[in-house]
Amino acid sequence: MFMFRFQWWQQHVLARKMIVAAVLFSSCVTLAMTLFQLGLQYRHHIETIESSSTIVRGSIQKSLVQSIWDFDDATTRLQVEGVLQLPYVRKVRLSLSDGRLFEYGSDSTIQRRSERIPLVFDQGNDRRYLGELFIAADLESVYWDLSNYAMTVLFSNFLKTLLVVGFLSYVFERNVGRHLNRLIEHTKTRKLAGYGRPLHLERLANEQIDELDVLVDSYNEMQQRIEDEHDQTLAALETRQELQQQLEQLDRQVMMGEMATSLAHELNQPLATITGYADIGQRFNRQGEQQKLAEILDKIASEGLRASEIIVRTREFIKSRTHTLERIEVSKLVAQSVELVSHVALQQQIDIQIVKMVDNCWVNGDIVQLQQVLTNLLRNAIDELKDLDSAEIWIKVRSEDEKVWIDVHDNGPGIADNIIGKIFDPFVSTKKDGMGVGLAISYNLIEAHGGALSASNRKAGGATFTVLLPTIK
């Protein structure tokens, strides 16, 4: 039971703060009231002592003087003993001028309040000094009474505080704590995926609602707004992804449309070779030279395979497909990208060289998307170089600190200063008839792969586009 209460006290920080604040405030009020009451009690006790002195001076003093004058020791003794019966009087001593002494009570206390009352017989013009009455009041008794009173008040308030703490703990747990715990558990377990039921507090049928119910209603409304906005965001993202894929597909189709003439030229070479080999094969067949015929048929099959590879490569590049992440070797990626535009470069008499390569370097990505980026960079370089003599494109690959850089250099005119800062913005193009979407798409594709695409001008002339990608083991 004690451990349960201790755990409850440790877990409910808000309750602990409220209860501690209430106890501190109650203790301060109790202490202040106790001090005030102690002051009143002390004043009452002092007034009682002063009233004893007043009684002695007012009534006992006159009769005592008369008894002493009459040498009535018995009456004198009774009167002195009567003074000792007054509240808080602990010692009375009557010292007479003729040497007689009447002394009663004890004077062992350190803290006391004393008074000396002179006794004078006054009869007309005859005034005679008879002696002195010494009265000592015990203040320790006063302080003891006050301390007992204080202890009683403090102990009773301590018990009251314990009862209040217990009652506050129960009230807090009943009206606040359990509802807060339910709210906390609900927020911890609730997920956007699948949503869930709205939060409701466990109330009795006739229990009055309070601010916590208003808080829960506001929370449910907020959660509903978050869910609605989440659905809208997901729908917008899906629409954006669909449009992005359509734009990528369109860009690839436009690129292949621009490459159609050179592609037809590239296909014409193996087809023309196949036609020539077929004529030679027919002649060998008529002559009965079967061995030479078999060699010709192998060459025809080789050229047919070459044409097939060109068509398959082109079809894979332009077809609509689902994005797939896979382990890609950078050297293979660069080589295939160069192969896709090699016939265009050859037609324009542009030399493309891979001057530096890193072996056994891998990235995680969509190979078609990455090929699209590199192909787009190479096509842009070819377009800028097609009217130049001694046009060159060279590719450098370097790797360091789990990153790989693919640099595409050319010796063309470079990028204009007024465009280089916004060259990756949509609809910004250096070509007269360009749409300005190729580099924007490439930038987004590389960024989606966790990399970066940048452009700069070479000091020796020409432009450099750099693709940065994270590598994997």
Which amino acid does the sequence have at 302?
S
Residue 467, in any domain of the structure? yes
**pLDDT score for 363:** 94
In a domain, 249, yes or no: no
> Scanning the structure block, which residue is given the tokens 């992440």?
325
Q: Are 361 and 330 in contact (CB under 8 A)?
A: yes
Domain annotation covers residue 69: yes
329 part of a folded domain: yes
Q: How far is CA 309 from CA 315, 368, 371, 411, in A?
A: 10, 16, 16, 31
Per the listing, tokens 């314990």 go with: 162
- As a whole number of angstroms, the distance between CA 391 and CA 346 comes to 11
Give 56-60's long-range contacts (Cβ < 8 A, gap of 24+). Answer: 56/83, 56/86, 56/117, 56/133, 56/135, 57/117
Per the CB < 8 A criterion, the answer to whether 187 and 180 are in contact is no
- For the cut 90, the answer to whether the pLDDT of residue 395 exceeds it is yes
* Six-digit token string for 93: 């001593």
- Place 265 in a pLDDT band, splitting at 50, 70 and 90: very low
Domain assignment of residue 117, yes or no: yes
Domain boundary, last residue among 163, 184, 216: 163
Which whole number is the average pLDDT over 339-361?
85
pTM: 0.45
Domain assignment present for residue 201? The answer is no
pLDDT of 255: 57
- Amino acid identity for residue 176 in this structure: V
One-letter amino acid of 61: Q
For the segment 450-471, the average pLDDT, to the nearest whole number, is 93
Strands 351-356 and 326-329: unpaired
Q: Give Cα separations from 413 to 79, 353, 409, 410, 428 (angstroms).
A: 133, 19, 12, 9, 18
How far is 233 from 228, CA to CA, in rounded Å? 9
Q: How many domains does the chain have?
A: 2
Query: According to the model, what pLDDT value does residue 262 have?
Result: 47
Mean pLDDT over residues 4-20, rounded? Answer: 63
Q: Which residue has the tokens 């906005």?
A: 229
CA distance 365 to 325: 5
Strand partners, 363: 328, 471
**Residue 65: inside a domain:** yes
Residue 464 pLDDT greater than 90, yes or no: yes
pLDDT digits (tens, 9 = 90+) for 151-184: 888 888 888 888 887 777 777 777 777 777 777 7
Instruction: Specify whether the CB–CB gap between 336 and 312 falls below 8 A.
Output: no
- Sign of torsion, CA 414 419 421 423? negative
Short-list 77, 86, 98, 76, CA closest to 135: 86
pLDDT (average), residues 400-413:
92
pLDDT tier at 269, thresholds 50, 70, 90: low
pLDDT tens for each residue of 298-339: 777 766 775 676 566 556 555 545 567 889 999 999 998 888
Whether 149 is covered by a domain: the verdict is: yes
Give, in order, the Cα–Cα distances in Å from 444 to each of 136, 241, 373, 385: 103, 11, 10, 26
pLDDT of amino acid 403? 93
**For 138, left (φ over 0), alpha (ψ -120 to 50), or beta?**
beta
Residue 414: give its domain's CATH number.
Answer: 3.30.565.10
Q: Is the pLDDT of residue 405 over 90?
A: yes
Is the pLDDT at 454 greater than 90? The verdict is: yes
Whether 234 has a pLDDT exceeding 60, the answer reads yes
pLDDT, tens only, 109-160 = 567 788 888 988 887 777 888 899 888 888 877 888 888 888 888 888 888 8
Residue where a domain stops, chosen among 163, 194, 220:
163
pLDDT at 433: 63
pLDDT of residue 452: 94
Please check the confidence at residue 9 and state whether its pLDDT lies above 70: no
What value does the mean pLDDT take over residues 66-78? 87
How confident is the model at residue 314, as a pLDDT? 59
Pairing of strands 463-472, 452-457: antiparallel
Considering the chain, what is the average pLDDT of its residues?
Answer: 79
How far is residue 44's CA from residue 39's CA, in Å, rounded to a whole number?
A: 9
Q: How far apart are CA 142 and CA 42, in angstroms?
A: 7
User: What mean pLDDT do residues 192-211 have?
Assistant: 66
CA-CA distance, 224 to 229, in Å (whole number)?
Answer: 9
| Domain coverage including residue 470 | 322-473
CA 339 to chain centre: 51
Residue 257 has pLDDT above 60, yes or no: no
The whole-number average pLDDT for the span 379-388 is 85
Distance of CA 111 to the CA centre of its chain: 65
- Indicate the residue among 111, 134, 163 that finishes a domain: 163
